[in-house]
Amino acid sequence: MVFFSISEYYERITKTKHRMANEGIEVLLVTDPANMNYLSGYDAWSFYVHQLLVIFIDEDQPYWIGRGQDASAAFHTSWLEADHVYPYTDDYIQSSEKHPMEFVSDFIKAKKYDKKTIAAEFDAYYFTAKNFMKLKENLPNAVFKDGTNLVNWIRIIKSDQEIECIKIASKIAEGAMQAAFDSIDAGVRQSDAAAAIAHAQIRGTDDFGGDYPAIVPLLPTGDRTSACHLTWTDELFRQGDPVIIELSGCYKRYHSPLARTIFLGMPDENIQYIADVVVEGINITLDAIRPGITCEEVEAVWRRVIEKSGIKKDSRLGYSMGLNYPPDWGEHTASLRAGDHTILRENMTFHMIPGIWLDHMGVEISESFRITDKGCEVLADFPRELLVKPNIRLA
Amino acid sequence: MVFFSISEYYERITKTKHRMANEGIEVLLVTDPANMNYLSGYDAWSFYVHQLLVIFIDEDQPYWIGRGQDASAAFHTSWLEADHVYPYTDDYIQSSEKHPMEFVSDFIKAKKYDKKTIAAEFDAYYFTAKNFMKLKENLPNAVFKDGTNLVNWIRIIKSDQEIECIKIASKIAEGAMQAAFDSIDAGVRQSDAAAAIAHAQIRGTDDFGGDYPAIVPLLPTGDRTSACHLTWTDELFRQGDPVIIELSGCYKRYHSPLARTIFLGMPDENIQYIADVVVEGINITLDAIRPGITCEEVEAVWRRVIEKSGIKKDSRLGYSMGLNYPPDWGEHTASLRAGDHTILRENMTFHMIPGIWLDHMGVEISESFRITDKGCEVLADFPRELLVKPNIRLA
């Protein structure tokens, strides 16, 4: 029932325990849904209630703790044995009287780990301040440590099978971007184009069905292209406007993000110039990437290209990505930016997204890539340029 | 640019300040994206980085704090004036050295509220344990209180304009469920049906474009119907299997959830019996609903019906819903369950989802409804029964 081999999951657990041992952690509470999936295979849209894996340093298998009605999802999607699935009753759900972390604390006490060193992912999306308060209150003799991104840093180098998933996601991303190009035009309702993109993402390819990406298609247009994280509206696309599309293919929760900008009509010199600089910057930076250099060095290559142009970019150039759940396909490990000394290794995967956002307009052209043994491999095959639809059909 | 009138937003702010005053709160930090939207109109897929509204009890307008590249989204989607938008620089993003809550703390100090009583939404999805640690560390003289669900409880009674949005979302839900019924069949790939559903959700109706629902279509089939929160796979639907579809229409971030079960082939007596009990339970419960009774009383009506049948249901019968963002369309306020003494009032909106999950099979048939002045109004118009597709086309 699980997608990867049990031995691959055990290898991931072993790496996790090595890191735990190095940091003096005896119990790790894993709430990040991507980390839960990575270690156990667990895959359900149940992260809107409190759930986690508990990893004891001297036990082979993690324990899944979650809502009663989701225990069946643990049986269906994870490799954990039945006695490692610990559901709590429904009266813990969104209650002002009971909290799931009380149940978790009781479990840790029953396992006699309540005087040990326990780490939790303090800055993970679904590990709330209340979670930590309840743990501290109910486990007064435990020592707590920060386990944020402990598992994420193991995820940064992908196995060959994970790379296969990301490559399938890249094919899905190509199809979704093609659907965007085909459907976006002046006079078309934005939501109709977004529907076509989502259809292509979820349908997938003839051979591989798509999964839901961790972020819906981002689709700002006109003035709104200055705001990269806006979604569509039910207004019509207008002649003379740029449209930014940032999307991802997703397969078995693995992502391959891709962004392009389409101009509806003939682009003016300004936007064409920005797009040309961005494409030149991407090309030169991709050429310079090889295993052994640092994230900071990658960003420095990009910065040298763009500095000549007079265009400013304040935000990071890109980030590691792969397995994920909403609200983010980014891995929260390495970023392509000054100060990040992470050394590039084979089978790391990044999204390089040199977005340029000015006061009333923006341009995004991006590529996802894999570090190879000698350099890097761009994942999706889609024209790397400002896309133009000059033949406008007004509705 | 904002969807509701500025006076409606001010009314929401005033209600929030009344609650703050009653609870002795002088500063409220609002991180729940739905609450941020409710109070400011802010609407972007940027909740994957730390962002919030800061409400000072003696100031008219909230302050938006978020990532630099999202400030433009605040200008485009909120009614806040430019001097109420405080972006932080990109080096705060997913960094092990800087944390956005340090920036927030500095802001609160500069406003001279650092010795006041500050509430945060301790159990909201995006308010992490680390957020709270950073605030406490940097605001050592503040008194902290739990503001979880403070704004959510204001949201529970919808304005007439909000109800209009939910009614449009209901029309979209009907279309999406019809797309599910039309596309799901033995031999069809699950991801192809999910794509058709997502297309209908985002396209919307001819008059109103759809928004992205807070939860993707849930689509367990066969054995997996025992696990309600599973999404689709790229396997084919099989003859003789049940399929559960739980989805929502969404318009301007307002939801109207709807669940149905389709049987591919002729249903056996067992599943038909469960479906009949569920439908009878829904009918009798809906008939009993009127303003003035409590959530607990609604659930008791349901329980009396189902107890006679021999079928057990351990989880809550339903919950308040409306405005939301991933990962949940539920509001986290009232639940239809024993012990919930919330009194039903006109323009509350609920999703009643009496799902029955057995070891190897489940049935879900649900309705969303609005409390009216005399009773309740079911929102979507879709046959309330076990849906059957007896004519199987094998692929």
Asked if the model's pLDDT at residue B82 lies above 60, the reply is yes
The complex's ipTM? 0.97
Residues A47 and A108 in one domain: yes
Q: Out of B97, B195, B212, whose CB is closest to A231?
A: B212
Q: Which residue has the higher pLDDT, A37 or A311?
A: A37
Helix H or strand E segment including A258: strand A254-264
Q: Whole domain around residue A125: which residue ranges?
A: 6-155
Tell me how far apart the alpha carbons of residues B352 and B350 are, in angstroms, rounded to a whole number. Answer: 6
In this prediction, residue A74 carries a pLDDT of 97
Q: What is the pLDDT of residues A250-259, one digit of tens each?
A: 999 999 999 9
Q: What is the pLDDT of residues A57-93, one digit of tens each?
A: 999 999 999 999 999 999 999 999 999 999 999 999 9
Tell me how far apart the alpha carbons of residues B41 and B50 are, in angstroms, rounded to a whole number. Answer: 17
Q: How far is CA B150 from the centre of its chain?
A: 16
Residues A140 and A218 in one domain: no
DSSP string, B134-194: HHHHH-TT-EEEE-TTHHHHHHTSPPHHHHHHHHHHHHHHHHHHHHHHHH--TTSBHHHHH
Residues B272 and B382 in one domain: yes
CB burial of residue B99 (10 Å; 0-12, 13-18, 19+): buried
Tell me how far apart the alpha carbons of residues A83 and A226 are, in angstroms, rounded to a whole number. Answer: 52
Q: Judge contact between A323 and A155, C-beta under 8 A.
A: yes
Does residue A114 fall inside a structural domain?
A: yes
The answer to whether the CB atoms of B355 and A69 lie below 8 A apart is: yes
The answer to whether the CB atoms of B68 and A314 lie below 8 A apart is: yes
Residues B150 and B190 in one domain: no
Asked if the model's pLDDT at residue A393 lies above 70, the reply is no
Does residue A394 fall inside a structural domain?
A: no
Residues A234 and A211 in one domain: yes
Residue A271's nearest CA partner among A302, A298, A311 is A311
Q: What is the pLDDT of residues B128-176, one digit of tens each?
A: 999 999 999 999 999 999 999 999 999 999 999 999 999 999 999 999 9
CB burial of residue A133 (10 Å; 0-12, 13-18, 19+): middle
The answer to whether the CB atoms of A130 and B120 lie below 8 A apart is: no
Chain A residue with minimum CA distance to B42: A230
Asked if the model's pLDDT at residue B393 lies above 60, the reply is no
In this prediction, residue B173 carries a pLDDT of 98
Question: Which of B50, B229, B360 would best serve as a mutation to test chain A binding (most A beta carbons within 10 A)?
Answer: B229
Work out the average pLDDT over B311-335.
Answer: 95
Residue A355 in contact with partner chain B when CB distance is under 8 A: yes
In this prediction, residue B310 carries a pLDDT of 87
Residue A107 in contact with partner chain B when CB distance is under 8 A: no
Does residue A366 fall inside a structural domain?
A: yes
Q: Out of B126, B209, B216, whose CB is closest to A125?
A: B126
From A44's Cα to the closest Cα of chain B, the distance in A is 5
Residue B216 in contact with partner chain A when CB distance is under 8 A: yes
Does residue B394 fall inside a structural domain?
A: no
The answer to whether the CB atoms of B128 and A130 lie below 8 A apart is: no
Q: Judge contact between A112 and A142, C-beta under 8 A.
A: no
Q: Which of A155, A181, A213 is the last residue of a domain?
A: A155
Residue B183 in contact with partner chain A when CB distance is under 8 A: no
Residue A311 in contact with partner chain B when CB distance is under 8 A: no
In this prediction, residue A374 carries a pLDDT of 97
Asked, as a colleague might, if the bond just before A267 is cis with ω within 30 of 0, I would say no
From B184's Cα to the closest Cα of chain A, the distance in A is 13
Does residue A1 fall inside a structural domain?
A: no
Angle between helices B295-309 and B269-288 (to 10 degrees): 150
Does residue B257 fall inside a structural domain?
A: yes
User: What band does A394 get if pLDDT is binned at 50, 70 and 90?
Assistant: low
Residue A385 in contact with partner chain B when CB distance is under 8 A: no
Q: Which of B120, B155, B190 is the last residue of a domain?
A: B155
Residues B148 and B242 in one domain: no
Residues B188 and B253 in one domain: yes
CATH of the domain at B142: 3.40.350.10
For residue B369, give the 3-state DSSP assignment. Answer: strand
Residues B141 and B167 in one domain: no
Q: Judge contact between A353 and A366, C-beta under 8 A.
A: yes
Q: Out of B93, B130, B195, whose CB is closest to A199?
A: B195
The answer to whether the CB atoms of A198 and B202 lie below 8 A apart is: yes
Q: What is the pLDDT of residues B83-111, one digit of tens each?
A: 999 999 999 999 989 999 999 999 999 99
Q: Judge contact between B187 and B394, C-beta under 8 A.
A: yes
Residues B148 and B234 in one domain: no
The token pair that represents A180 in the structure block:
């965007």
User: What band does A314 get if pLDDT is binned at 50, 70 and 90?
Assistant: confident
For residue A104, list chain B residues with Cβ-Cβ distance below 8 A. none
In this prediction, residue A337 carries a pLDDT of 96
Asked if the model's pLDDT at residue A392 lies above 60, the reply is no
Number of domains, chain A: 2
Q: Which of A99, A133, A155 is the last residue of a domain?
A: A155
Does residue B301 fall inside a structural domain?
A: yes
Work out the average pLDDT over B340-350.
Answer: 98
Residues B204 and B68 in one domain: no
User: What band does B395 get if pLDDT is binned at 50, 70 and 90?
Assistant: very low
What strand order describes the sheet that includes A318-321? Answer: A330-336, A318-321, A349-352, A367-371, A376-378
Q: Judge contact between A324 and A212, C-beta under 8 A.
A: no
In this prediction, residue A198 carries a pLDDT of 98
User: What band does A42 get if pLDDT is binned at 50, 70 and 90?
Assistant: very high
Q: Judge contact between B365 and B386, C-beta under 8 A.
A: yes
The answer to whether the CB atoms of B120 and A128 lie below 8 A apart is: no
Q: Out of B126, B315, B319, whose CB is closest to A68?
A: B315
Q: What is the pLDDT of residues A204-228, one digit of tens each?
A: 999 999 999 999 999 999 999 999 9
The answer to whether the CB atoms of A127 and B132 lie below 8 A apart is: no
Does residue B147 fall inside a structural domain?
A: yes
For residue A324, list chain B residues with Cβ-Cβ distance below 8 A. none
Residue A122 in contact with partner chain B when CB distance is under 8 A: yes
Residues A238 and A305 in one domain: yes
Chain A residue with minimum CA distance to B44: A230
Tell me how far apart the alpha carbons of residues B217 and B195 are, in angstroms, rounded to a whole number. Answer: 9
Work out the average pLDDT over A366-379.
Answer: 98
The token pair that represents A3 in the structure block:
């997608």
For residue A234, list chain B residues with Cβ-Cβ distance below 8 A. 204, 208-210
Asked if the model's pLDDT at residue A10 lies above 90, the reply is yes
In this prediction, residue A395 carries a pLDDT of 47
CATH of the domain at A339: 3.90.230.10
In the Cβ-directed half-sphere of B169, how many Cα atoms lie within 13 Å? 32
From A258's Cα to the closest Cα of chain B, the distance in A is 16
Helix H or strand E segment including B377: strand B376-378
Of chain A residues 256-275, which have a CB less than 8 A from chain B?
Answer: none
Task: Tell me what percent of chain A is helix, strand and coil, each rounded to the nearest 5.
Answer: 35, 20, 40
Chain A residue with minimum CA distance to B235: A209
Residues A213 and A324 in one domain: yes
Work out the average pLDDT over A24-50.
Answer: 98
Asked if the model's pLDDT at residue B392 lies above 60, the reply is no
From B207's Cα to the closest Cα of chain A, the distance in A is 9
User: What band does B196 get if pLDDT is binned at 50, 70 and 90?
Assistant: very high
In this prediction, residue B394 carries a pLDDT of 53
Chain B residue with minimum CA distance to A331: B94
Chain A residue with minimum CA distance to B90: A315
Work out the average pLDDT over A18-47.
Answer: 98
